[in-house]
A and B are shown apart, each in its own frame.
Chain A
Amino acid sequence: MNRIEEMFVQAPYLRVDEKLTVDLLTRALREEVEKAGFDRVILGLSGGIDSALSLYLCVEAFGKDRVTAVRMPYRTSSPSSLADAQAAIDDTGVESITIDITPQIDAYFERFPDATPLRRGNKMARERMTILYDLSAQYNALVIGTSNKTELLLGYGTQYGDMASAVNPLGDLYKTQVRQLSAYLGVPQQIIDKPPSADLWQDQTDEGELGFSYFDVDRLLYYLIDCRYTREQLSELGFPSDFVERVTRRIVRNQYKRRLPVILKLGDRTIGVDFRYLRDWGL
Chain B
Amino acid sequence: MRIGLAQIRPALGRLDRNLALHREMIQQAKENQVDLLIFPELSLTGYQLQDLTYEVARTMDHPEIQELVSLSEEMDLVFGMVEESPDHILYNAGVYASGGRIVHVHRKVYLPTYGMFDEARYFGRGRNIRSFETRFGRMGMLICEDMWHVSVPYLLAQDGAEWLIVLSNSPARRVGSEGLGSEQVWHRLLSTHAMLHGSYVFFSHRVGVEDGVTFFGGSMAYDPFGRLIKQGALFEPELVLVDVKPDQIRRARFQMPMLRDEDVELTARELNRIIAQRTEEGTRS
- Taking CB atoms and an 8 Å cut-off, the chain A residues in 103-125 that contact chain B are none
A12 close to B208 (CB less than 8 A): no
Across the interface, do A278 and B179 meet the contact criterion of CB distance under 8 Å?
A: no
Given A17-B176, A20-B175, also A278-B210 (CB < 8 A): yes
Query: Interface readout for A269-281 with B: 1 if CB under 8 Å, 0 if not?
Result: 0000001111111
Q: Are B177 and A16 in contact (CB under 8 A)?
A: yes
Minimal beta-carbon separation of B182 from chain A (angstroms): 11
Which of B50, B52, B177, B210 is within 8 Å of A17, CB to CB? B177
Cβ 8 A contact of B235, one of A23, A32, A282, A283: A23
Q: Which residues of A contact B11 (CB under 8 A)?
A: 282-283
Would B178 and A280 count as touching, CB distance under 8 A? no
Q: CA–CA, A32 to B50, complex, Å?
A: 19
Query: What per-residue 1/0 map shows which CB atoms of B31-60 lie under 8 Å from chain A?
Result: 000000000000000001011100000000
By a CB distance below 8 angstroms, the chain B residues around A35 are 209
Known pairs A281-B52, A282-B13 / 7 extra A-B pairs, C-beta < 8 Å: A16-B176, A21-B175, A23-B235, A27-B209, A27-B214, A28-B209, A283-B11
Query: For chain B residues 205-243, which have a beta carbon within 8 Å of chain A?
Result: 208-212, 214, 234-235
**In whole angstroms, what is the CA distance A280 to B48 when docked?**
10
Contact A276 to B50, CB < 8 A, known contacts A16-B176, A281-B12: yes
Nearest CB in chain B to that of A226: its residue: B174
Q: Closest CB-CB distance, B143 to chain A, in whole Å?
A: 20
Q: Which of A1-59 contact B (CB under 8 A)?
A: 12-13, 15-17, 20-21, 23-24, 27-28, 31-32, 35
Which chain A positions have C-beta within 8 A of B176?
13, 15-17
Partner pick for B209 among A32, A275, A277, A281, CB 8 A cutoff: A32
Contact between A167 and B212 (Cβ–Cβ < 8 Å)? yes
> Chain B residues near A281 (CB, 8 Å)?
12-13, 52
B50 and A15 form a contact (CB under 8 A): no
**Is B14 interfacial (CB-CB < 8 Å)?**
yes
Question: What is the distance, in angstroms, from B114's C-beta to the closest C-beta of chain A?
Answer: 13
**When the two chains form the complex, which single residue of B12, B172, B178, B180 contacts A278, counting CB atoms closer than 8 Å?**
B12
Provide a sorted-by-A list of 7 A–B residue pairs whose CB atoms are within 8 angstroms: A16-B176, A20-B179, A27-B209, A32-B209, A278-B210, A280-B12, A281-B13
A278-B50 in contact (CB<8A): yes
**Contact assessment for B211 and A278 in the assembled complex, using a CB-CB cutoff below 8 Å:** yes
A32-B209, A277-B51, A278-B50 as given contacts; A24 in contact with B175, CB under 8 Å: yes
**Contact for A28 among B48, B50, B212, B234, CB less than 8 A:** B212
Contact of A24 among B12, B13, B235 (CB under 8 A): B235
CA distance A167 to B48 in the complex (A): 18
- Which listed residue (B175, B211, B214, B235) contacts A280, Cβ 8 A? B211
Task: Determine how close the nearest CB of chain A comes to the CB of B247; give it in whole angstroms.
Answer: 37
Q: With the chains together, A99 CA to B212 CA distance in Å?
A: 31
B residues neighboring A (CB under 8 Å)? 11-14, 48, 50-52, 172, 175-180, 208-212, 214, 234-235
Closest-CB distance, A145 to chain B (whole angstroms): 11
CB neighbours (8 Å) of B50 from chain A are: 276-278
Asked if B13 contacts A15 (CB within 8 A), the reply is no
Which residues in B have their C-beta under 8 angstroms from that of A23?
Answer: 234-235
A226-283 CB contacts (< 8 Å) to partner B? 275-283
The distance in angstroms between the C-alpha atoms of A276 and B121, with both chains bound, is: 12
Separation of A32 and B176 alpha carbons in the complex (Å): 23
List 4 tightest A-B contacts by C-beta distance, closest first.
A15-B177, A276-B50, A278-B211, A31-B209
Q: How far is the CA of A59 from the CA of B13 in the complex (A)?
A: 31
Chain A residues, CB < 8 A from B212: 28, 32, 167, 171
A-chain residues with CB within 8 Å of residue B210 when the two chains form the complex:
278, 280
Contact assessment for A279 and B211 in the assembled complex, using a CB-CB cutoff below 8 Å: yes
Contacts of A279 in B (CB 8 A): 211
List, in ascending order, chain B residues with CB within 8 A of A280's CB.
12, 209-211
Complex: A17 Cα to B177 Cα, angstroms = 4
* Complex-state Cα separation, A282 to B177, whole angstroms: 34
List A contacts of B13 (CB < 8 A): 281-282
Nearest CB on B from A176, distance (A): 12
Chain B neighbourhood of A27, CB < 8 A: 209, 214, 235
Q: Whole-angstrom distance from the CB of A225 to the nearest CB of chain B?
A: 13
Q: Hey, which chain A residues are within 8 Å of B172, CB to CB?
A: 24
User: A249 to nearest B CB, angstroms?
Assistant: 25
